[in-house]
Structure 1
Amino acid sequence: MKWHHNLLVGVINGLEQFFFHKRRSVKVVEELFEKNKKWGSRDRKIVSYLIFENVRWVRKFAYCSNIKELSTKKDLWSILGSSIVIKDRLLPNFIEFSHLDSKKILNREKKIKNNRKISQSIPDWIDSLGVNDFGNKIWDKEIKALNIKSNLVLRCNTLKSNINHLKKELSKNNIDSFLIKEYPHALIIKEPKKITNLSCFKMGYFEIQDANSQKVALSCNLKTRMTVIDACAGAGGKSLHMASIMKNKGEIIALDPFDNKLKELNNRAIRNGIDIIRTLNTSNKNLISNIIGKADRVLIDAPCSGLGVLKRNPDAKWNMTPKKIKDLIKVQDSLLEEWSKYLKKGGELIYATCSIFKNENTNRIKTFLKSESGKNFKIIKEKTFFSYSTGFDGFYIAQLKNCE
């Protein structure tokens, strides 16, 4: 591949923002594109590819460059050079790469074949967590799967279309997609393309949502006319999915502490043709105290480490820490205690995270069931959706019933 110096300078600027200024990689790429509007489609693909690859594989590339810790812009050029050598076996003739030796880089890469922490580019503590929870064999498969870039997955909005109709609409725009039996509303896009400019998107035929994320609403055992609380709604992907399953009949109360996310949810609901979602800032939850003990379903899509979605968000493995997870666990326990009281007798609580690790999942449910708030609940079903066995993001979903 022919490498253009100005593009690599852009990559370095992006990596500097991520590693030294702790900016999100997605935001960094967006801002680079905004500042460099003359870059063509191919240029943007190269820049985004190299930034995300170096974020994902930084520990591996740093080892191959013989760097113990990133601290200078020269270090960033070194890991970028290593990534290019490992991909193309040849370094561009740029002065910033003059200190690198391609043979040494490739020789060091060979040495890490049996060192999972470096070869799979993960912090020691995450590797230990994976081995403790799943054993070497499963963890080895899972971390390899989590390091493979995710597919683009759509969820058909069944209020406005059906899966076969949507597939045909995409085909008209030269977008190939395929169905997966276990995911009734999902379409996998074969080659990533910009799709939010399509008329069928603007008309609300689909949303972008990972296949295993779609399992959350499907696990809620929903019926029309139900009263449902989405306690951690965010921008509302799961609220929208639940509304479509409920055929836009009933009530969904979607809560979140951030008004900008609730505004986005309201806009998405309009596009989707949904009017049963009532948004509410979490700080105003006293306004729904009248439905304590009356809700049919409560969904807690809990804040979590995000370590199940490394396929599409490799940032998480470098930004998350054991201390942050301990703090998140307190939040998760608090959410279960708080929102469980809104369920009526026979109602169901669904707890979900985009983490695969037991300390945020199974252990939280065990703790809840032993608590005063959870003593009348029983577990109906729980499942961890692994990336290695599904090909999608890692998720955990537990269904509990209030037997009071």
Structure 2
Amino acid sequence: MKNSREICADILYKVFNQNSYSNIVLKNELNKCDLNSNDKGLITEIVYGTIKYKYTIDIILNSFIKNGINKIDEYILNILRMSVYQIKYLDKIPNFAVVNEAVELTKKKKSIGASKLVNGVLRNYLRNLDKKYYNDKNLVEALCFNYSFDKWLVKLFINQYGQEIAERILSGLNKRPAVTVRVNALKVSYDEAYNKLVEDGYNVEEGYVCPEAIVINKGKSIELNPLFKEGLVTVQDESAMLVAPSMDLKDNMNVLDLCSAPGGKTTHISEVMNNTGKVRAFDIYDNKLKLVKSNARRLGIKNLACEKMDASILNENLKESADAVLIDVPCSGIGIIRKKPEIKYTKNLKGLNELVEIQRKILINASTYVKPNGTLLYSTCTLNKKENEDNIRWFLKNNPQYSIEPLYYGKLDNFIYTEEGCVTILPNEYMDGFFITKLKRQW
């Protein structure tokens, strides 16, 4: 049977070397293994921590490996990475235990010779814990090392937000995300759901900003709880939870969600409309639409229909058909690094720029589907202004029939309200980085 360190190494190999999604691989591996909750918690901590701090860890390892990390066997490299993470960032595991575990795992998976290399590298690191790995007079180098982000991303944040906010973003993206659930008012009251979670042994608190949110600080997987299984609550970040209530929704409206999967915002729209009217959920992939349907069934949603469609291609049949349209457009996802830390290493500047063209096509198409006096809600889970404010300015310049209707969620230190009325949400322990703009069609 695999022990916790072997499971960690296997997961890291799949994420770093096979381009798997950390949240999916971790969930699958934890479901398969027969370990107690403490061991599963440690695996989660080591996996996410190692991915989160990979940039910094690789700099450290490069200084102790003669030919650099690129010459090392990939599996062994991941054993070294997770070991350095434990030594540098975790206080609860003695350093000698970390080294011993790494050596034994390398013997088991590779060879005695490889285990000697692992032992030598880690012991050399332990003898040099105070070593400097960057030029502390260089702001970018310091931020890259201390927060473990590639230079291009650190420079992007500094150029777009300035040094102070850029550092807040970097810090926020490294926060451990809380598990937040949205109470389904179609099935249960907020107080009933809250009290039931307390009865079931969860440590909970009211949401940071959303009235339907409950933050779960501690407790077993909520997806195994009857409240989730029976559709009384659903997991959703509070940033995403702001979208549906911002759309001026009323009972019996016709609403389109053009990029709906996996259905969190879509089903929230249905809940806000009290299961009345018609919500049409579109996505480009059939398998993703299955997720939307599954979520809708669990939550008791009756007014939702799923249809396959590429939102970047104009659908003449939808012109001026909707009272409100949501476009949570495909984006770089930089704002959700807290939950998917591998995004730090799977994105690049070229890829970000290529997304803008798709986003603008969707924005233009969606604008034709809105009835006069209707609402178009644009949202992303990125903090790249080229995908956010720049797209909105471009759109308004070419579409005078639309104007921004400013949104206000309260005076919170992680909310930035632009003069035009756009909202950027900076990441913190409660919320993902996010962007929301509400557009009104005048004629």
Q: What pairs with 1:3-402 in structure 2 (closer than 5 Å)?
A: 6-33=3-30, 37-66=33-62, 69-70=69-70, 71-72=72-73, 73-86=75-88, 87-88=90-91, 90-92=95-97, 93-94=99-100, 95=103, 96=115, 97-99=118-120, 100=122, 101-108=124-131, 115-180=142-207, 182-282=209-309, 289-371=316-398, 374-381=399-406, 382-388=422-428, 391-402=430-441
Task: Work out the percentage of aligned pairs sharing the same amino acid.
Answer: 26
| SS of corresponding position for 2:392 | helix
CA shift in 2, pair 1:132/1:183, >3 Å: same
Could you state the TM-score of these two structures normalised by the residue count of structure 2?
Answer: 0.84
Q: Quick check: 1:369–1:375 contact (8 Å CA) kept in 2?
A: yes
CA shift in 2, pair 1:176/1:288, >3 Å: same
| SS of corresponding position for 1:359 | coil
Greater Cα offset, 191-200 or 157-166: 191-200
Q: Write the distance in 1 (CA, Å) between the matches of 2:4 and 2:380.
A: 37
Q: Deviations over 1:140-189 (max 9, x none)?
A: 11111110110000001111112111101111211121113631110001
Q: CA deviation at 1:403?
A: 1.3
Q: Quick check: 1:82–1:105 contact (8 Å CA) kept in 2?
A: no
Q: CA deviation at 1:262?
A: 1.4
Q: Write the distance in 2 (CA, Å) between the matches of 1:303 and 1:105.
A: 44
Q: Write the distance in 2 (CA, Å) between the matches of 1:10 and 1:239.
A: 35
CA shift in 2, pair 1:162/1:60, >3 Å: same
State the match for 2:412 in structure 1.
none
Q: Quick check: 1:91–1:102 contact (8 Å CA) kept in 2?
A: no
RMSD: 2.4
CA shift in 2, pair 1:226/1:347, >3 Å: same
CA shift in 2, pair 1:108/1:63, >3 Å: farther
Q: Quick check: 1:65–1:105 contact (8 Å CA) kept in 2?
A: no
Q: Quick check: 1:304–1:360 contact (8 Å CA) kept in 2?
A: yes
Q: Write the distance in 2 (CA, Å) between the matches of 1:274 and 1:75.
A: 47
State the match for 2:108 in structure 1.
none
Q: Write the distance in 2 (CA, Å) between the matches of 1:285 and 1:306.
A: 19
Q: Write the distance in 2 (CA, Å) between the matches of 1:185 and 1:109.
A: 47
CA shift in 2, pair 1:69/1:379, >3 Å: farther
Q: Gaps spanning 5+ residues in structure 1: where?
A: none
Q: CA deviation at 1:42?
A: 2.4
Q: Deviations over 1:23-79 (max 9, x none)?
A: 2222332343355x3333322222222111111101111222235545523322322
Q: CA deviation at 1:213?
A: 0.8
Q: Deviations over 1:232-258 (max 9, x none)?
A: 001211011111111111111100011
Q: CA deviation at 1:107?
A: 1.5
| SS of corresponding position for 1:300 | strand
Q: Quick check: 1:152–1:192 contact (8 Å CA) kept in 2?
A: no
Q: Write the distance in 2 (CA, Å) between the matches of 1:69 and 1:351.
A: 42
Paired residue total: 397
CA shift in 2, pair 1:316/1:172, >3 Å: same
CA shift in 2, pair 1:111/1:192, >3 Å: farther
CA shift in 2, pair 1:202/1:76, >3 Å: closer
Q: Write the distance in 1 (CA, Å) between the matches of 2:17 and 2:50.
A: 14
| SS of corresponding position for 2:198 | helix
| SS of corresponding position for 1:193 | coil
1:384 maps to amino acid: T
| SS of corresponding position for 2:30 | helix
Greater Cα offset, 16-25 or 142-151: 16-25
Q: Quick check: 1:292–1:341 contact (8 Å CA) kept in 2?
A: yes
Q: Write the distance in 2 (CA, Å) between the matches of 1:347 and 1:7.
A: 53
Q: Gaps spanning 5+ residues in structure 2: where?
A: 104-114, 407-421
Could you state the TM-score of these two structures normalised by the residue count of structure 1?
Answer: 0.92
| SS of corresponding position for 1:165 | helix
Q: CA deviation at 1:124?
A: 0.8
Q: Write the distance in 2 (CA, Å) between the matches of 1:286 and 1:318.
A: 30
Q: CA deviation at 1:272?
A: 1.3
Q: Quick check: 2:61–2:69 contact (8 Å CA) kept in 1?
A: no
State the match for 2:414 in structure 1.
none
| SS of corresponding position for 1:184 | coil
